[in-house]
């Protein structure tokens, strides 16, 4: 549900603007309409400084656990900003140098990996050979292509034999004609011992720089607070600079939004400030910020909806409607009761270690519940179909779906999803605009149901439909024809209604998209079955077979769980944001409610 907003228009003398915004910031309830990009060089510098502090704050996280004694955070107090700026510059120098050194270290390690097969050498020896009047030519040949007669024809020395390849060098006198049937290979310009010395020196410097960063890491929390203070100052500055000036620039007009539930507190605050203000209900044309308020279950899925976009003000928040479907779609794609049980248990245990992520971990647990419920239809538990292992009565076995039944279940589930989306759109349009604005979608719902049962009649032997069933389809088509457009004369409306029948191709495409539920669920079950098969074969290994079998089961199923979870997270998101949102008439484009916040909020 989108929280209703009040719109506040405040008029005050321009010299009072900064003081007013500081107090609004402490109130922490009002979103001031402001520009979110730098307006001038001052705001650009503030944003750049905030970014630098945040960047160093995140980097220092990697240096907190290396030395507990040296990384104890500073006690909460006001630290001199000049000192923080100096520590920031110092940390940036170390971080830049570390980045360069790690790049050089990676390059040197690659050189060692590429050229270690040639062994080590001394430059002096190479120069002595060249001084004697010889050129060196280096080659690599496979064992099968290397010819022993080359040693008789040329001055040839084999340097190394490795992985079916022979590394050798040929000496030729300077000035004489030289040819060889193989292309020359690149020989390392730097000896192996020099490269290893370079790595040692680089690692020593990296350790010194890391220790220096550890010494700065106690300032990490102060860096975060400083970044927050700069961000708060920037918010206030942008709000002040973007406020229009009237009466030759002496009067500033501020527009802000706050939830209706906070109207009494905001009203009291404005009265105490002694400013002139006007309060009115926010309208769609004002484009107010969006604040969502949902129940416990739906609120868990708000971060998923925000990955796409927020609804606009006056639009329907679809989070409570897509949440249960998303949970079940995730379970369908995961396709294994055992994996669902694992997510349920791991999510619960992780709450003790990561209390700040309680909301996300609860979401993981609900996803696990969805997997347990949906996978129960196919009866898959850690890659094994339980009805093939245990002897259940025939009445119980009949409850489990075969693969073909799961295929059709995915399509039927998708049709229910589409119909539900259309129903939401129809009812909301009827409520907000009028009954006639929802009749077109009611018509589509009827046509989809009619077409589904008509097709089922051709596939299911003995299925009969009542005589009035076809009349229902005609009634649905009539609603589409006459109410797809609600403006203009009858001829134009009929023409637009006729053209709208082309949407049937889109609905058919949407329906086929839900086959991915079956595909992902089945593939996950097959991968789990392969893990079981490999593990069972390992049991035959004498003495240690059971150990490797258990190890394979743990590692294999964990890998399948991670892989399947990725697909089970992404593809239901696609079904939600494309098929569901489209059929529900979602437009989106709202901006999040971000009130000016007091500096002390950073400590919470």
Least confident interval from 74-78, 356-360, 420-424, 429-433: 74-78
Of 118, 192, 120, the C-alpha closest to 158 is 118
Q: How far apart are CA 396 and CA 499, in angstroms?
A: 49
Instruction: Look at 21 and 562; give whichever has higher pLDDT.
Output: 562
User: Which CA distances in Å does 299 have to 107, 131, 241, 292, 323?
Assistant: 47, 79, 35, 8, 9
> What pLDDT digit, counting tens, does each position of 132-178 carry?
999 899 999 998 889 988 988 889 999 999 888 999 999 998 888 88
C-alpha to C-alpha distance for 347 and 516, rounded to whole angstroms: 26
Lowest-pLDDT range of 312-316, 394-398, 419-423: 394-398
> CA–CA separation, 103 vs 257, rounded Å?
49
Confidence of residue 486 (pLDDT cuts 50, 70, 90): confident
d(Cα 460, Cα 464) in Å, to the nearest integer? Answer: 9
Q: Quote the CA–CA distance of 491 and 511 in Å, as a whole number.
A: 32
Mean of pLDDT over the chain = 84
Contacting residues for 120 by C-beta, under 8 A, at least 6 apart: 191, 192, 193
pLDDT at 226: 83
Q: Has residue 37 got a pLDDT over 70?
A: no
Give me the pLDDT at residue 111, please.
Answer: 87
Residue spans of the domains in the chain: they are 5-92+211-286, 121-190
pLDDT of 70 = 44
For residue 322, which of 340, 334, 304 has the smallest C-alpha distance?
304
Do the bridges between strand 276-281 and strand 5-13 make them parallel or antiparallel, or are there none, so unpaired?
A: antiparallel
Q: Check residue 488 and give its pLDDT.
A: 73
- DSSP string computed for 518-572: HHHHHHHHHHHHHHHHHHHHHTTSTTTHHHHHHHHHHHHHHHHHHHHHHHHHHHH
Task: Write 42-47 long-range contacts (CB < 8 A, 24+).
Answer: 42/237, 43/234, 43/237, 43/238, 43/241, 46/230, 46/233, 46/234, 46/237, 47/234
Task: Read off the pLDDT band of 598 (50, 70, 90).
Answer: low
> Is residue 604 pLDDT above 50, yes or no?
no
330 in helix, strand or coil? helix
Q: Is the pLDDT of residue 68 over 70?
A: no
In the chain the first and final C-alpha atoms are separated, in Å, by 26
Per the DSSP assignment, residues forming a β-bridge with 160 are 167
CB-CB contact of 55 with 190 (8 Å): no
Task: Say which residue, 20 or 359, is predicted with more confidence.
Answer: 359
Residue 423 has pLDDT above 90, yes or no: yes
Q: What is the band of 544 on the pLDDT scale with cuts at 50, 70, 90?
A: confident
What are 327-343's pLDDT values in tens digits? Answer: 999 999 998 999 999 99
Neighbours of 296 (CB within 10 A): 8
Core vs surface per residue 461-470: b (16+ CB within 10 A) or e: eeeeeeeeee
Confidence of residue 241 (pLDDT cuts 50, 70, 90): low
Sorting pLDDT into bands at 50, 70 and 90, what band is 603? very low
């Amino acid at each position: 549900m989108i929280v209703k907003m009040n719109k506040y228009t405040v008029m005050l003398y321009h010299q009072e603007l900064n003081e007013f915004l500081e107090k609004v910031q402490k109130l922490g309830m009002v979103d001031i309409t402001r520009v979110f990009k730098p307006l001038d060089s001052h705001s650009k510098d503030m944003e750049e400084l905030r970014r630098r502090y945040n960047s160093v704050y995140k980097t220092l996280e990697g240096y907190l656990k290396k030395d507990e004694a040296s990384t104890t955070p500073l006690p909460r107090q006001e630290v001199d900003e000049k000192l923080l700026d100096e520590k920031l510059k110092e940390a940036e120098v170390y971080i830049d140098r570390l980045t360069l050194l790690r790049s050089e270290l990676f390059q040197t390690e690659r050189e060692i990996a590429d050229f270690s097969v040639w062994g080590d050498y001394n430059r002096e020896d190479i120069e002595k050979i060249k001084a004697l009047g010889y050129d060196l030519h280096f080659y690599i040949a496979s064992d099968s292509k290397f010819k022993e007669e080359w040693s008789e024809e040329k001055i040839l020395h084999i340097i190394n034999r490795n992985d079916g390849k022979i590394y050798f060098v040929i000496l030729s006198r300077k000035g004489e004609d030289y040819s060889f049937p193989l292309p020359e290979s690149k020989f390392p310009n730097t000896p192996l011992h020099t490269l290893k010395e370079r790595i040692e020196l680089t690692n020593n410097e990296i350790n010194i720089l890391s220790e220096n960063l550890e010494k700065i890491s106690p300032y990490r929390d102060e860096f975060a607070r400083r970044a927050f203070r700069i961000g708060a100052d920037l918010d206030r500055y942008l709000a002040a600079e973007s406020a229009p000036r009237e009466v030759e620039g002496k009067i500033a007009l501020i527009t802000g939004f706050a939830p209706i539930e906070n109207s009494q507190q905001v009203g009291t605050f404005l009265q105490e400030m002694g400013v002139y203000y006007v309060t009115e209900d926010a309208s769609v044309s004002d484009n107010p910020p969006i604040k969502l308020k949902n129940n416990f279950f739906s609120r868990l899925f708000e971060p998923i909806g925000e990955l796409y976009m927020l609804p606009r003000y006056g639009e329907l928040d679809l989070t409570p409607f897509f949440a249960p479907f998303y949970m079940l779609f995730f379970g369908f794609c995961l396709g294994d009761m055992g994996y669902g049980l694992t997510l349920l248990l791991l999510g619960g245990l992780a709450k003790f270690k990561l209390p700040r992520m309680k909301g996300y971990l609860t979401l993981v647990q609900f996803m696990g519940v969805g997997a347990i419920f949906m996978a129960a239809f196919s009866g898959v538990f850690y890659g094994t179909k339980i009805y093939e292992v245990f002897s259940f009565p025939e009445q119980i076995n009949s409850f489990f779906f075969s693969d073909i039944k799961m295929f059709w279940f995915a399509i039927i589930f998708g049709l229910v999803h589409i119909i539900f989306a259309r129903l939401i759109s129809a009812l909301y349009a009827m409520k907000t605009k009028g009954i006639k604005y929802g009749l077109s979608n009611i018509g589509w719902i009827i046509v989809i149901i009619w077409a589904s049962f008509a097709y089922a009649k051709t596939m299911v032997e003995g299925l009969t439909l009542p005589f009035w069933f076809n009349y229902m389809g005609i009634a649905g088509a009539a609603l589409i024809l006459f109410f797809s457009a609600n403006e203009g004369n009858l001829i134009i409306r009929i023409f637009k209604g006729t053209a709208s029948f082309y949407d049937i191709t889109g609905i058919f495409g949407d329906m086929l998209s839900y086959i991915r539920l079956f595909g992902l669920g089945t593939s996950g079950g097959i991968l789990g079955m392969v893990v079981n098969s490999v593990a069972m074969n390992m049991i035959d290994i004498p003495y240690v077979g059971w150990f490797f079998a258990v190890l394979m089961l743990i590692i294999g199923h964990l890998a399948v769980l991670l892989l399947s979870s990725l697909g089970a997270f992404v593809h239901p998101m696609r079904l939600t944001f494309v098929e569901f949102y489209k059929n529900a008439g979602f437009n989106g484009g709202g901006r999040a409610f971000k009130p000016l916040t007091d500096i002390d909020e950073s400590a919470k």
